[in-house]
Amino acid sequence: MVEKAEDGETSEGEKKKNRLGKAAKVSLGVLGGLSLLMGYISAAGMEESEREVEARKPIDDFFAALNARDIEGCRRTLHYPNLQIAGNEVIILDDPESFQIDFQLLGNEGWTYSTLDSCSMRQSCDEKVHFEVQLSMHRANDSRYATYQALWIVTKKEGVWGIQCRSIFPSGVRSS
C-alpha cells in the first residue's frame, strides 16, 4: 500500500518503491517467459535428436546388411518406390525385387566391405530427413579403394523410417 505524505501526495521514496516492485514483476514475467521458451527449444532439440537417431537406423542397417551380403536385409531398409541417382542417371525401383547388388562383381573388383565414414543430418521434419553421407569401399587388407559423397533421404511411412532416395556423386575417389 502506498502511503501519502501529509499534503496528500505520494512520497518520493514510496514512488521509487512502487516502480521497483513493478519492475520486479515485469522481470519475473520476462524470466518466466524465457524459461518456457528455453524449455520449448530444449524439447524441440531433443525431438530433433530423437528423430535423427530413428531416421539414421535404416542407413546403419543397410550397411550392416550390405557387409553381410544380405540382399533381403538391404531391401528391408528401403521404402518403395525407391529412387537411385548416380550422376545424372535416375533409376526408380518399384518394389524390393528391383533392388539388386551383384556381390560377385563387387568381389571381382576387390570389394570386401563398405564403411559409412560420416552421416550428418542436414534437414529434417517429422516425416523426412536428409543425410549427407560419405561411404567407402575396402579390400580384404582393409585398404580403401573408393570413397563417395552422397545425399540419402529417409522418410517415415506408416510409422516406419526407410531410405527413399540415394543420390551419389560419381566423382568418388577410386584407386586401383
What pTM, to 2 d.p., does this model score? 0.72
Residue 121 CB neighbour total at 10 angstroms: 17
CA of 118: how far to CAs of 56, 60, 131, 149, in Å? 11, 11, 9, 9
Per-residue pLDDT of the chain (176 residues; tens, 9 = 90+): 545 555 555 666 666 666 666 655 655 555 555 454 444 444 445 577 899 999 999 999 999 999 999 999 999 999 999 999 998 899 999 999 999 999 999 999 999 999 999 999 999 999 999 999 999 999 999 999 999 999 999 999 999 999 999 999 876 666 65
CA atoms within 13 A on the CB side of 161: 23
Query: What are the cell numbers at 144?
Result: 580403401
d(CA 23, CA 166): 57
CA-to-CA distance for 73 and 61, rounded, in angstroms? Answer: 8
pLDDT value for 48: 73
Q: What is the CATH number of domain 53-174?
A: 3.10.450.50
Q: In this structure, are residues 1 and 21 in contact, taking their beta carbons and an 8 Å threshold?
A: no
Domain ranges of the chain: 53-174
Q: Say if strands 128-138 and 113-125 run parallel, antiparallel, or are unpaired.
A: antiparallel
DSSP E strands, 31-171? 78-86, 89-93, 113-125, 128-138, 144-157, 160-168
pLDDT at position 19, please? Answer: 62
The answer to whether 164 touches 131, Cβ cutoff 8 Å, is no
Show the cell assigned to 149: 559423397
Sign of CA pseudo-dihedral 166, 171, 173, 176: positive
> What φ, ψ does residue 4 adopt, rounded to 5°?
-105, 145
